[in-house]
Amino acid sequence: MKNLLIHNGRLIDPASGIDGQFDIAVAGGKIAWIGDNQPPAGDYEVIDAAGQVVAPGFIDLHTHLRQPGFENKETIATGTRAAARGGFTTVCAMPNTSPAVDNRTVVDYVNCVAFGEAAVRVLQIGCVSKGRKGESLAEFGEMAAAGVIGFSDDGSSVPTSRLLKQAMEYAAGLGLPIIEHCEDASLADGGQVNEGIVATRLGLAGIPNAAEDAIVARDIALAKLTGARLHLCHISTRGAVDLIRQAKSDGVKVTAEVTPHHLTLTEELCLGYDTNAKVNPPLRTQTDIDALIEGLLDGAIDAIATDHAPHTANDKCCEFALAPFGISGLETALGSLLRLVHCGKLPLPLIIEKLTAAPARIIGKKHGVTGSLGVGDPADIVIFDPDAEWTVDPGKFASRGRNTPLAGERLKGKVTATICRGNTVYREGN
- Judged by the rule CB under 5 A, the positions of this chain that interact with Zn ion are 154, 181, 233
- In the complex with ligand DOR, which residue's Cβ is closer, 397 or 426? 397
Residue 19 falls in the annotated catalytic set: no
Question: Applying CB under 6 A, which of residues 155, 206, 295, 401 lies at the interface with ligand DOR?
Answer: 155
Is 405 a binding residue for ligand DOR by CB under 6 A? The answer is no
Binding mask 77-96 for ligand DOR (x = CB under 6 A): -------------------x
Crossing angle of helices 104-117 and 76-85, in 10° steps, is 60
User: Which of these, 189, 426, 180, 155, lies nearest to 309 by C-alpha position?
Assistant: 155
Q: How far apart are CA 241 and CA 338, in angstroms?
A: 22
Give the binding range for ligand DOR (CB under 6 A) out of 163-171, 260-268, 321-329, 336-344: 321-329
Is 124 a binding residue for ligand DOR by CB under 6 A? The answer is no
Residue 326 contact among ligand DOR, Zn ion, none, beta carbon within 5 to 8 Å by kind: ligand DOR
Is 64 a binding residue for ligand DOR by CB under 6 A? The answer is yes
Q: How far apart are CA 137 and CA 153, in angstroms?
A: 11
Give the binding range for ligand DOR (CB under 6 A) out of 144-152, 220-228, 320-328, 366-374: 320-328
Question: Applying CB under 6 A, which of residues 60, 102, 153, 154 lies at the interface with ligand DOR?
Answer: 154
Is 279 a binding residue for ligand DOR by CB under 6 A? The answer is yes
Q: How far apart are CA 142 and CA 138, in angstroms?
A: 9
Known binder of ligand: residue 280? yes
Question: Applying CB under 6 A, which of residues 10, 85, 181, 248 lies at the interface with ligand DOR?
Answer: 181
The answer to whether the CB of 422 falls within 8 A of the CB of 1 is: yes
Catalytic residues: 307
- Per CB under 6 A, residues contacting ligand DOR are 64, 96, 154-155, 181, 279-280, 307, 309, 324-326
Residues flagged as binding site:
62, 64-66, 96, 154, 181, 234, 280, 307, 311, 325-326
Residues flagged as binding site for Zn(2+):
62, 64, 154, 181, 234, 307
